[in-house]
Amino acid sequence: PTQNVLCNVLQGILPEQEQSQTFIQQLQWSTKELRRHQAELQLRVENALAEGSISQAIQSVRDALLSGWPLRALEQPLQRILRASKQKQAEECLQLCLQIFTTFPEFCGEATFSSLVALLVDSGKLGTAEEVLQHAAATSRMKMRTAQPLLEALAEDKDLNGLQRLFFDVVHPMVKCQQAHLNGNSVETLLRGFGTMPSMQQEVLTLLSATALELPSKCLEAIHDGLRKSQEEHELHVSFVLQPCGTHTLQRLTAALQDAGGGVPASCLVDGPNIGYRGAVQRRQHAEGKREGARGKNFTKAHDVVVENLHAAYFRHDQIEAVMLHLREKGEAPLLVMPERYVFGVNGSAMTTDVAPRKPLNPTVQSWLSGKALFVVPDDVPDDAVWIFASLTPNARDQKRYVVTRDKAMNHRASIWNIRVENGPCADLELERSFRRWSALHLRWYAMSWQHCDHSQGVNVRIDESQPPSLEMQQHDGSWYIPEANGSRWLRIFHAEP
């Protein structure tokens, strides 16, 4: 590609004018001189624009061009004029561009092409903008921001043919050879523009996956927000899901599972917060009286306002210890999972988040730590995701590892099993079956009792021994069993013996 191609493109949309063939002797400046003259021209252009005179700004750049100024001194002022121009001034700006492109054999930079494409799109000259963009791509003067105005215009006009042509002719080859990179805005625009073409949406995501392993949060936010605003049009559903545990946490967990004290691998896991808070509502009501709102949970007494961690003062480490002792008496090797705010702190408060000095909250916690029976989870990592992953280990020896909890982990159906609540449990039967089988095999319900709110006489613990059947339609011993939704009955269907 040559500069003549670009000149021909612009000449095709501009009125014919007599072109001067006067040879302009280019000035040779040092870098210091170049920067000084460039700053002077930039100032003249800014002053003209501030006075509302695009024509005066254009004339300043044209005078510099005719005086033999080099292209490097003209580009930034030209870009500023292109960005400031409105549709009615487009022709005058394009004439200046043509004069500059005709004068210099070298190519302009990507920023100039971006400004030029944006002006052409704003002026409704989409075909010319596409030709300029193709020239920018052919000369490696293109980024995704160069194409973004045209992508948005084609998507807005629902011009599927033009959008498809631009994707395959320009975007795909440039991204594939890593001369341009898909960003959040471009991905969102392409997915939205191809709203009625699922196959093309798949092409966009396939291209993205082939050229990127991950995206910055800003890009993800752009994709998420853009698609959410027009979700009904493109039929794509987007939502952020939790990345439950970092690599470092999982590496620590793997080591902890191999030694839960005395070199013995963990045979079960204990959901510490779930057990520690068991009965906390009743203890708070016994000490402070009942509160209004939400069945008396997590609301202030006076203003009916939600309070974060209202029951932290009634968290009981001794309840957890009772469960740990019960499991050990049964011959189990339990590994307790707890967030660090319930492990370390000052003055023994479960609400404390201070980590300096990091000392155990009480002697019970100290005994767990010294006995390697406690796995501490950072406060910014969901602790329930830790014991879920521990129960999902592929090791055949650990398949019977279970979790003592009353948490049904329903909030992790989306983040770990990718089951969408809004789609209903039958949207993907295999995923739902996987979740229900895991729940039945690995979650063990517990019960605790004590005299009123007094733990001084000890705590009685019961942990369910038998595994309940997975709540799914299933066949067993020649009979079919169909569970009742939200009920406790099963319909059994079988062949009666003759």
Q: Hey, which of 14-18, 140-144, 280-284 has the most confident mean pLDDT? A: 140-144
**What's 71's domain CATH number?**
1.25.40
Let me know whether 214 and 264 are in one domain.
no
Let me know whether 2 and 87 are in one domain.
yes
Let me know whether 77 and 103 are in one domain.
yes
Domain assignment present for residue 231? The answer is: yes
- The average pLDDT across 363-371 equals 93
**What's 327's domain CATH number?**
3.40.50.11980
**18 burial via Cβ count (<10 Å: 0-12, 13-18, 19+):** exposed
The set of long-range contacts for 235-244, using a CB threshold of 8 Å and a minimum separation of 24, is 235/195, 235/198, 236/191, 236/195, 236/201, 237/420, 239/414, 239/420, 241/414, 241/415, 241/418, 242/382, 242/385, 242/412, 242/415, 244/381, 244/382, 244/385, 244/386, 244/388, 244/389, 244/412, 244/415, 244/416
User: Where do we find the tokens 């003062």?
Assistant: 313
| pLDDT bucket at 438, cuts 50 / 70 / 90 | confident
**pLDDT over 80 at 417, yes or no:** no
Domain assignment present for residue 345? The answer is: yes
Domain assignment present for residue 310? The answer is: no
Let me know whether 85 and 204 are in one domain.
no
Let me know whether 97 and 147 are in one domain.
no
Domain termination residue (choose one: 99, 114, 139): 139
Instruction: Give 60-90 pLDDT, tens digit per residue.
Output: 999 999 989 998 999 999 999 999 988 788 8
User: What predicted TM-score, i.e. pTM, was given to this entire model?
Assistant: 0.56
Let me know whether 125 and 253 are in one domain.
no
Q: Would you state the pLDDT for residue 301?
A: 46
Let me know whether 47 and 151 are in one domain.
no
Helix (H) or strand (E) holding 47: helix 31-50
**3-state percent helix, strand, coil for the chain, nearest multiple of 5:** 50, 10, 40
**pLDDT over 70 at 393, yes or no:** no
Domain residues for 168? 143-240
How far is it, in rounded angstroms, from Cα 467 to Cα 208? 44
Of 141, 216, 157, the residue nearest 189 (C-alpha): 157
Domain termination residue (choose one: 112, 139, 166): 139
Let me know whether 236 and 251 are in one domain.
no
Q: 75, 111 in Cβ contact below 8 A? A: yes
DSSP string, 370-401: HTT-EEEEPTTS-HHHHHHHHHT---GGGTT-
Q: Would you state the pLDDT for residue 299?
A: 45
| pLDDT bucket at 106, cuts 50 / 70 / 90 | confident
Domain assignment present for residue 351? The answer is: yes
- The average pLDDT across 276-296 equals 72
- The β-bridge relationship of strands 490-494 and 479-483 is antiparallel
Let me know whether 429 and 484 are in one domain.
no
Let me know whether 387 and 266 are in one domain.
yes
Domain assignment present for residue 446? The answer is: yes
DSSP annotation of 171 reads I
How far is it, in rounded angstroms, from Cα 165 to Cα 159? 10
Domain count, the chain: 4
- Whether the ω angle into residue 357 lies within 30 degrees of 0, i.e. cis, is yes
CA atoms within 13 A on the CB side of 50: 6
Q: Would you state the pLDDT for residue 320?
A: 93
Instruction: Give 209-255 pLDDT, tens digit per residue.
Output: 888 777 777 888 888 888 777 655 556 777 665 556 777 888 899 89
- The β-bridge relationship of strands 446-449 and 460-463 is antiparallel
Domain assignment present for residue 305? The answer is: no
Q: Would you state the pLDDT for residue 380?
A: 81
Domain assignment present for residue 302? The answer is: no
Instruction: Give 327-359 pLDDT, tens digit per residue.
Output: 999 999 999 999 988 898 644 344 444 444 568
Name the residue with higher pLDDT: 298 or 465: 465
Let me know whether 320 and 184 are in one domain.
no
- The average pLDDT across 320-332 equals 93
Domain assignment present for residue 402? The answer is: yes
Q: Would you state the pLDDT for residue 485?
A: 73
Instruction: Give 125-174 pLDDT, tens digit per residue.
Output: 999 999 999 999 999 999 999 999 999 999 999 999 999 999 999 999 99
Let me know whether 182 and 263 are in one domain.
no
